[in-house]
Structure 1
Amino acid sequence: MPRIKNQPERGTETMRETATELESLLRDISYWIKKKGRDALSSVKITLPQFQVLQLVYFGEAVNVKDLSHLTGLAASTVSEMVDRLVELAYVTKTQNVLDKRQVVLKCTKQGASIIRKVIRQRIQSVQEVTKTMQPGAADCLVAMLTEFVELCK
């Protein structure tokens, strides 16, 4: 977003206060969205950590236990147990890597993808309920600002 003309320079203290407030707001939003997702999981026999692992596999951020362990910060043995449970529930498949037989490749099944989509739909519906009560144009402005923020974080 371009700088607004005649906008005064912000001091370091003001920027720190803004960053502190923004971090707190983003944390609150993240918690709220995760809670809405957990509500959608209530009908499925899957724990929140298992769902987080399923999500990483679904979005292609992790293709093996080592990746999952690194991304979650959990021990490989813990992640392996979670993956085994997801395989048992038919949400994930494990296959040998054709290039390296020592590696196991994880893939999300149709059933696993269905759970992810269900949770995302629930979250979107919850966000929609809130944004429809906002002032006209406010939600679009929020999307534009958060889009810029995300791009700057990359």
Structure 2
Amino acid sequence: MQIPEVGEPAPGFTLPGTTVRDGARTDGEYALAAEIGRTVVLAFYPGDATPVCTAQLCSYQEELDDFGDLGAVVWGISPQALDSHAAFAHGSSLTFPLLSDPAGDVVRAYGLVAPGIGLRRSVFVIGPDGVVRWRHVGLVGLRFPKAATIRAQVEQLVA
């Protein structure tokens, strides 16, 4: 599959996910279509509790209130199972949903399969209309967009 271009509809999906808040784990289903009317930030990351992924998602956690104030939700997506996600969220104090894509269906739908790596570290901002409004697709996966960069893109949608 091709990486969706800015201005194209975001590929829809439903994935299992987990959140950990105040030490309590809550599992559920997360459907992109259910978020029409809200901005969604999708942060695709290769693996739970790895150094770069931890730095990336913790930086987004620090800005979570700012995203919420703008009416946006943040979802992390990787191939690990929910138990791995819950342990990662608990250990890193992450409170936003971490979605599990073990078969790689959503990773493929977004064109993020990287031979030898697994998935390309990438971030998509999906507008309230379900259209891709901004994207950052990593080539190697060691770099990620800063929360302030993503927030600036989300701010443009609510301006």
If the length of structure 1 is used for normalisation, what is the TM-score?
A: 0.28
Q: Per residue, is there more strand in 1 or in 2?
A: 2
Higher alpha-carbon Rg: 1
Greater relative contact order, per chain length (Cα 8 Å cut-off, separation 6+): 2
If the length of structure 2 is used for normalisation, what is the TM-score?
A: 0.27
Q: Per residue, is there more helix in 1 or in 2?
A: 1
